[in-house]
Amino acid sequence: MKMAILIGLLSLATYLPRVLPALLIDSIHFSKRWRTFLRLLPYTVMAALIVPGTLSGDGESFAGSLAGTFVAILGGWFSLPPIFVVLLAVLSA
- The CA–CA distances, whole Å, from 12 to 2, 7, 16, 18, 47 equal 15, 9, 6, 10, 29
pLDDT at residue 61 in the model: 76
Q: What is the DSSP letter of 4?
A: H
**What integer pLDDT is reported at residue 53 of this predicted model?**
78
Q: Tell me how crowded residue 68 is: count the other CB atoms within 10 A of its CB.
A: 21
Task: Say what angle helices 62-77 and 82-92 make with each other, to 10 degrees.
Answer: 160
Q: What is the DSSP letter of 60?
A: S
pLDDT at residue 23, rounded to an integer: 86
Q: Say what the pLDDT of residue 90 is.
A: 86
Residues in the chain, pLDDT under 70 = 57-59
pLDDT of residue 57: 67
